[in-house]
Amino acid sequence: MVNLYTASYCMLARLEEVGKKEDELDNDMMSDLKVLVKELFNRLDPSIRYKMNKRGISFIFNIYTGFDTEYKGVDFYQNNLLSVQLAVNTKINIKIPIHEPYTMSSVHTLTNKVYSVRSLNDFRSDVLEMSVNNCINTIRRLRFGSYDESMRIIVEGLKSEGFDYFEKDCYVVFGLPRSDIQPYIYYNYDGINYGPGYDLLQLVEESNKMGQPHLSKRFDELIALLKNIYENRMNDNGVKPDCSTKKEEGDYIDRVKILDPIVVDVKTIERLSVASNGIEQLTESEEFIDSEISEGDVAVDSTTDASTDTTTEMFRNVQDDTINKKVSPGRGYMTSFSNDRVSVTRICNIYIAAHLTNADLSMLNDFNDFKDDLSIINKNFATLGRGVDLSKLKRYTKSERAMKLKGCNIYIRDTMLLSPAGKNSLNDLGKLYGAKLHKKSLSKEQIENMDLLLVEDKKLFQEYAVRDAIITLVHCN
């Protein structure tokens, strides 16, 4: 059947090539031949059809958020929220298909997972596999041209650059270096009154706003790197590309850079709402669409300088960062870095990690809206499977920014579940990463009266609160 399909496809390809030159083909005969080729392809074993498919590249955009809250206990049933602190960094993974020789195998009908099949003792499976591979290689050359060679060049180039990678299921997955850590703190208490609180939608939106500029910049650098790798290998000029996405040497903790925190309070948000007539209108012109990505789409976005003083303007800069379609979920095609038209899938994941999620998540206003998506593991909350469905949140349909996050995967993680035995406190986790990430020390009286500490020594309160979010993020990383 494989040989018959190969012969039929070769005949069809030859006739189409002749038809382009002479324009005298019998249309009915060509139609019948195409139907025959399609019928024969459908009769092939699924494991053989899998090897004949053209698989595309996946860009996986990950935003990691360390999440923590400070609150004042009112009674056994109620706490008042004092602050919410986040620590955000990002990482891009690129998943590239590689064509491997066919071996006797089968495909699971439900999961499409390919698994090997043991051959009989007296059966020359190597002869069969060689014949099938000859047919597969012939078909792939006719259908996809130099596509397999282009993917091989990119894989070898990224390996030579020293990026971390692993191979699984005919794919090679490369990981780019993580971005710097951007802390953020929202004050819900001004010393007299409590603000409206915080919700999961705000948390996701802020994580995305802080992560998008870094992802966009790294994505542009990655495309430039892929293009340089391909062109240099094709020209065989031995020139190594110069790109800031190269793997950094040394331990992550030693070279991680923690930026100055973005500080926001209720008054800042109210001031911006009046000045801008609603922050949500700032992104009114952005459209979230799946479209073909061309070389013209590659442009470096400006990013917020988080090292400047914390001001209303800094917060506005973060708010103004719109959803960039280059790093948002979707499918398209790209021709920027090779001569082939490459199918591209963009996957966006937002991981929210907290220490003792049963305490921190319950402080969110919309906890009751998403709690059904959580699983309880050792008395802590985490998501298993698909993550949190944002559309269940009451404020979702009222927020343009949230609507544009449709398709993003929102996962909840608890660092308590990732802690080594006997070292499950946040203080213990901080000590694992050296003096740079030791948890700030407070007296028992200060911990029991965090509202007073916020009023009397706001700097110490902020250092203590933000450090907790950073420790959570680093341990999750």
3-state helix, strand, coil in the chain (%, to 5): 45, 20, 35
| H or E element that contains 187 | strand 182-187
d(CA 259, CA 434): 18
Q: Is the pLDDT of residue 80 over 80?
A: yes
Question: What DSSP state is assigned to residue 356?
Answer: S
Higher pLDDT, 410 or 105: 410
Q: State residue 245's pLDDT score.
A: 52
Across the range 425-444, mean pLDDT stands at 83
Q: Worst-scoring range by mean pLDDT, 269-278, 360-369, 387-396? A: 269-278
Give the separation between CA 415 and CA 91, rounded to whole angstroms: 19
Mean pLDDT for 426-447 is 84
Contact yes or no for 2/132 (Cβ under 8 A): yes
Q: What is the pLDDT of residues 175-211, one digit of tens each?
A: 998 999 999 999 998 888 888 889 898 899 899 999 9
Distance (Å, rounded) from C-alpha 265 to C-alpha 302? Answer: 25
Phi, psi of 188 (to 5 degrees): -100, 5
Task: Give dist(CA 282, CA 324) in Å, integer.
Answer: 14
Q: What pLDDT sits at residue 95?
A: 94
Residue 235 has pLDDT above 90, yes or no: no
Res. 438: pLDDT tops 90 = no
**How confident is the model at residue 297, as a pLDDT?**
35
| Lowest mean per-residue pLDDT among 73-87, 302-316, 446-460 | 302-316
Position 413 confidence tier, pLDDT thresholds 50, 70, 90: very high
pLDDT-wise least confident of 15-24, 342-351, 408-417: 15-24
Tell me the whole-structure pTM to 2 decimals: 0.81
Inform me whether the pLDDT recorded for 157 exceeds 80.
yes
Q: Please state the rounded mean pLDDT for residues 448-456.
A: 89
Say how far apart CA 107 and CA 51 lie, in whole Å: 11
pLDDT band at 271 (very low <50, low <70, confident <90, very high): low
pLDDT at 350 over 90: yes
pLDDT given at position 466:
92
* pLDDT per position as a tens digit, 27-77: 777 788 888 888 888 888 888 888 888 888 999 999 999 999 998 887 777
State the pLDDT confidence band at 292, using cuts at 50, 70 and 90: very low
Instruction: Report the distance separating Cα 446 and Cα 52, nearest Å.
Output: 66
Do residues 402 and 209 make contact, with C-beta atoms less than 8 angstroms apart?
Answer: no
